[in-house]
């Protein structure tokens, strides 16, 4: 008697119908968006799914990519909608796809996929507002939702992540085992220059509260050194008020990649005051031969070697940072050593490792039907 699956033919990765999910497409070109573009480069024929898409904010996307949105697309944008993001994610139709790859830091593990499809989740982080920085008034409700979220977390067939920091969080909060594939940067673009000015310190970040840029600004109001802050976000007005029109603190707003490269190449060091999930900016700076001054927690400590490619400090406050700036001034950093270290995180390595892992999982998945 023939097998029920005797007519099943294995597909190569090139022949598989692939869907890629990303939580929302309404941000400028940051670290997670760069990783998304790399994944889209690996799978150029994939369909991109998202909760909502703002064309005015996403000119960095490939021009011919097919994009599918949820029912939230035509709703007014509001943070009040976040409680139903999981419902919107589950409304997306992945029925006809062989492989679904979710790259997420919010609800990408909630997706409903066909029993025969392979569902892989690549985590940039877990839901920050649910597990890491929950609003105090909402904690009782969020504790109930965590039970539901733990069920969602079992939906992916396999989980990948961007760092040891994220891997630990997945294990601690969701009891999820994951494999690390470090993201990478374009080291052929982010290159050192000879005779840089080295006359300012640099922050490259979205201006949102959890990035903790406020204490850096307070520190620089107390010293004469120049600080350049690249980025925009909802916390911008508050941060500018803290700076109080200090002449040594400059907000550039959103800038293009060419201007960003120029800032990297000419800064004295990049400052990372937050707990990053991974942190591509620290690698971009190091690829330009620049050291990184960073708080000693989170993903940045996986990419910065203390006293070799940068320096750590212990506390997220202005006194600890000022001490680090003093210690930093006493160290001679080698631009070539910093650059060579950054090459370990080139985007070509990420793309090669990511595609290889997806292919292995796809072949294993298909073997279940033979």
**Domains of the chain, start order:** 18-184+347-367 (3.40.50.2000), 201-345 (3.40.50.2000)
Q: Please write the tens of the pLDDT for every residue from 98-108.
A: 999 999 999 99
Please say if the pLDDT value at position 129 is more than 60.
yes
Measure Cα distances from 188 to 182, 269, 309, 343, 363 in Å.
18, 20, 19, 10, 33
Question: Quick one: three-class SS letters along 47-102?
Answer: EEEECCECHHHCCCCCCCCEEEECHHHHCCCCHHHHHHHHHHHHHCCCCCCCEEEE
Burial of 9 (0-12, 13-18, 19+ CB in 10 A): exposed
By residue count, the chain amounts to: 370
Q: How far apart are CA 68 and CA 66, in angstroms?
A: 7
**Across 164-176, average pLDDT:** 97
Q: E-assigned strands of the chain?
A: 18-22, 47-50, 66-69, 99-104, 118-123, 158-161, 179-180, 201-204, 227-230, 249-253, 269-272, 292-295, 310-313
Q: pLDDT, tens digit, for every residue of 71-93?
A: 999 999 888 899 999 999 999 99
H helices present in 205-297, as ranges: 214-220, 236-243, 257-266, 280-287
Q: Is the pTM of this model over 0.85?
A: yes
pLDDT of residue 230 exceeding 50? yes
Of 25-29, 124-128, 220-224, 228-232, which range is least confident? Answer: 25-29
Q: Nearest 5°: CA angle at 285, between 334 and 252?
A: 135
CB 284 within 8 A of CB 185: yes
Sequence-separated (6 or more) residues with CB below 8 Å from residue 285: 190, 202, 204, 264, 267, 269, 270, 291, 292
pLDDT of 8 reads: 59
CB-CB neighbours of 199 under 10 Å? 11
Q: What is the model's pLDDT at position 4?
A: 43
- What's residue 9's pLDDT? 73
In this prediction, residues 36-61 reach a mean pLDDT of: 96
Question: CA–CA separation, 95 vs 19, rounded Å?
Answer: 10
């Amino acid at each position: 008697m023939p097998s029920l699956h005797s007519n099943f033919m294995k597909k190569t990765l090139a022949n598989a119908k692939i869907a890629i999910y990303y939580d929302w497409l309404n941000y400028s070109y940051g670290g997670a968006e760069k990783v998304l573009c790399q994944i889209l480069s690996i799978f150029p024929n994939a369909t991109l799914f998202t909760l909502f898409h703002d064309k005015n904010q996403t000119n960095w996307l490939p021009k011919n990519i097919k994009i599918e949105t949820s029912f939230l697309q035509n709703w007014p944008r509001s943070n009040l909608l976040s409680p139903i993001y999981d419902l919107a994610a589950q409304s997306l139709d992945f029925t006809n796809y062989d492989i679904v790859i979710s790259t997420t830091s919010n609800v990408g593990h909630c997706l409903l996929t066909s029993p025969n499809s392979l569902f892989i989740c690549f985590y940039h982080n877990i839901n920050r507002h649910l597990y890491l920085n929950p609003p105090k008034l909402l904690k009782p409700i969020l504790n109930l939702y965590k039970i539901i979220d733990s069920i969602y977390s079992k939906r992916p067939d396999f989980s990948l992540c961007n760092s040891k920091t994220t891997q630990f969080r997945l294990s601690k909060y969701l009891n999820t085992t994951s494999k690390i594939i470090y993201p990478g940067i374009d080291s052929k673009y982010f290159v050192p220059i000879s005779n840089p000015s080295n006359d300012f310190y640099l922050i490259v970040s979205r201006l949102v509260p959890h990035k903790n840029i406020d204490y850096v600004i307070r520190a620089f109001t107390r010293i004469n050194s120049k600080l350049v802050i690249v980025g925009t976000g909802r916390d911008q007005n508050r941060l500018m008020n803290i700076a109080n029109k200090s002449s040594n603190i400059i907000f550039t707003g959103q800038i293009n990649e060419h201007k960003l490269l120029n800032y990297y190449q000419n800064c004295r060091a990049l400052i990372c005051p937050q707990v990053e999930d991974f942190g591509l900016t620290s690698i971009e700076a190091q690829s330009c031969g620049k050291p990184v001054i960073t708080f000693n927690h989170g993903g940045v400590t996986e990419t910065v070697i203390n006293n070799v490619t940068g320096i750590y400090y212990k506390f997220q406050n202005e006194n600890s940072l000022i001490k680090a700036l003093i210690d930093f001034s006493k160290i001679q950093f080698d631009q070539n050593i910093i650059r060579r270290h950054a090459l370990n995180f080139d985007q070509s390595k990420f793309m090669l490792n990511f595609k290889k892992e997806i292919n292995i999982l796809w072949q294993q998945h298909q073997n279940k039907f033979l």
